[in-house]
């Protein structure tokens, strides 16, 4: 069965990629495993040299790669360029810091001649999504590679062109053959890949449903895994918040990548005393953002990645309205003869439990405004979700806000007066239905290593 890439802005076919045969997949995995047997013994300085060359190649090809991202999944071109730059920066970060992160240590209180060493595991299967087709891979691959592992990439079917382009970047940078290989296969073949004894770990970014399936498979095979899954990030607006600042950040955080981000702002929980004012400001800013051709400089957000995803989002919006949500902006499908998978910036007010806009992840440009009686109620609502990825809190009392963020919000990341985002130096990941383990920072590089105790008498 071919893996189809379509331009979501036009609906036009980009390419039909032939799914790899069983023999081709075995060859890719064997190549990655053979590369590991040599790569694991290379020095950190040699690994860093290759990661730095990969970063340079990403920058050299930045415009070409950005156009491919935009064509395959609809991200505005400027955002696609920024994605490539972020990948290059991540490679350089780990090239610079990996040796220190993985330096053998003597833990406090340990016997005098005992040490803890960190050794690579082997081939890491990276199951990646379409929404950040380069960044999601590189934020997992850069630390894993610097730790001495190699990568087998199973990308989303609609971004197969990006998967092949990533392989070409490694070749152009003259990285060792097999350091990263792509397997163009459907999801049905993931169980066989996880079960293969040469695969020693699995990293997945995707839906919670996919994460549960992969976790079960990895558990059955006794393979370590990192799961970065869905989110329904709350942005809490307290009574003393700077409402103009909050509204601007919230609009940006909701509409980035057309809302197709696990850490996009999704639920806006507002204390009653400022509800009307914030709602007016947020709606105005959402309305001012321009939807359109992702290659145009004037475009703020483009289409959703696929028409079926757009239709699922619209169904969630309509179901929420039927349950009593009030539509303030957007919420309609383009005419049937319109090209592309576009969906307008949408604002729902009076959102309550039992509505998809409250209970589910809305993966698109839809803001759900939820009223809270007071600060205590707002924090309760923020935690009233199956998810626990990111969160943000807005208040002029920075010290008090930091205390609330640290002690009262259940999430892997909480930002005060700022948009939730990832940084190579800090751990990234969630709790509850948002996943297991961490990516990035010093924590991310130790997810796929053997933490080995050495004791000398």
- What positions carry a catalytic annotation? 228, 262
CB atoms near residue 78 (< 10 Å):
15
Q: Are strands 224-228 and 435-436 parallel, antiparallel or unpaired?
A: antiparallel
Please spell the DSSP secondary structure of 247-266, one letter per residue: HHHHHHHHHGGGG--TTSEE
**Token pair of 393 as six digits:** 């809190």
- Quickly count helices (H) and strands (E) in the chain: 15, 17
Secondary structure string (H, E, C) spanning 182-206: ECCCCHHHHHHHHHCCCEEEEEEEC
Beta pairing, strands 224-228 & 366-372: unpaired
Rg (CA), the chain: 22
Residue 54: name the closest of 181, 166, 182, 129 by CA.
166
Where helices occur in 102-186 by DSSP H, the ranges are 135-146, 160-172
Helix (H/G/I), strand (E/B), else coil: 452: strand
State the residue for tokens 């179901």: 319
Reading the block at residue 385, the tokens are 């979700």
Q: C-alpha dihedral over 423, 427, 429, 432, to 10 degrees?
A: -150
Q: Retrieve residue 383's tokens.
A: 């935690």
Please give the structure tokens belonging to residue 199.
């695969």
Do 205 and 439 contact (CB within 8 A), yes or no? no
> Coil, strand or helix: which one is 227?
strand
Joined together, the tokens standing for residue 148 give 């001495």
At 229, list the tokens: 């899954």
- 272: tokens are 């009653």
- Tell me how far apart the alpha carbons of residues 358 and 143 are, in angstroms, rounded to a whole number: 35
What phi and psi, each to the nearest 5 degrees, are found at residue 250?
Answer: -65, -40
Whole-number Å distance between alpha carbons of 418 and 399: 15
| CA pair distance 206, 309, nearest whole angstrom | 14
C-alpha distances (whole Å) from 69 to each of 43, 147, 363 are 33, 28, 18
């Amino acid at each position: 069965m071919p893996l189809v890439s379509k331009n979501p802005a036009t609906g036009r076919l980009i390419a039909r990629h032939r799914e790899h045969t069983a023999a081709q997949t075995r060859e890719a995995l064997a190549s990655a495993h053979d590369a590991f047997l040599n790569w694991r013994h290379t020095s950190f300085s040699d690994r860093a040299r290759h990661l730095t060359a990969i970063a340079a190649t990403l920058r050299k090809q930045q415009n070409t790669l950005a156009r491919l991202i935009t064509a395959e999944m609809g991200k505005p071109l400027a955002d696609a360029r920024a994605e490539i730059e972020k990948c290059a920066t991540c490679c350089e970060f780990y090239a610079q810091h990996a040796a220190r992160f993985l330096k053998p240590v003597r833990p406090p209180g340990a016997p005098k001649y005992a040490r803890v060493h960190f050794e690579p595991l082997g081939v890491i299967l990276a199951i990646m999504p379409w929404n950040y087709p380069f960044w999601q891979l590189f934020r997992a691959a850069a630390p894993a590679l610097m730790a001495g592992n190699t990568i087998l990439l199973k990308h989303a079917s609609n971004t197969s062109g990006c998967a092949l382009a990533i392989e070409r970047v490694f070749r152009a940078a003259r990285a060792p053959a097999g350091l990263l290989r792509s397997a163009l296969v459907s999801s049905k073949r993931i169980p066989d890949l996880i079960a293969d004894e040469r695969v020693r770990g699995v990293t997945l970014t995707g839906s919670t449903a996919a994460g549960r399936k992969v976790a079960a498979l990895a558990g059955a095979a006794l393979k370590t895994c990192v799961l970065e899954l869905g989110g329904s990030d709350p942005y809490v607006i307290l009574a003393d918040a700077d409402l103009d600042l909050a509204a601007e950040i919230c609009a940006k955080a909701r509409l980035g990548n057309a809302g197709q981000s696990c850490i996009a702002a999704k639920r806006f929980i507002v204390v009653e005393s400022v509800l009307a004012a914030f709602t007016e400001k947020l709606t105005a800013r959402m309305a001012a953002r321009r939807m359109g051709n992702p290659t145009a400089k004037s475009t703020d957000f483009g289409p959703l990645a696929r028409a079926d995803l757009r239709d699922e989002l619209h169904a969630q919006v309509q179901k929420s309205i039927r349950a009593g949500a009030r539509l303030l902006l957007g919420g309609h499908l383009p005419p049937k003869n319109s090209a592309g998978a576009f969906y307008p910036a949408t604002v729902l007010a009076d959102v309550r439990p039992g509505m998809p806009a409250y209970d589910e992840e809305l993966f698109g440009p839809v803001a759900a405004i939820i009223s809270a009686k007071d600060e205590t109620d707002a924090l309760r609502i923020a935690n009233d979700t199956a998810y626990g990825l990111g969160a943000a809190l807005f208040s002029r009392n920075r010290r008090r806000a930091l205390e609330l963020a640290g002690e009262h919000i259940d999430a892997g990341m909480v930002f005060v007066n700022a948009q939730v985002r990832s940084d190579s130096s800090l751990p990234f990941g969630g709790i509850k239905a948002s996943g297991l383990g961490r990516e990035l920072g010093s924590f991310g590089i130790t997810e796929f290593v053997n933490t080995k105790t050495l004791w000398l008498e």
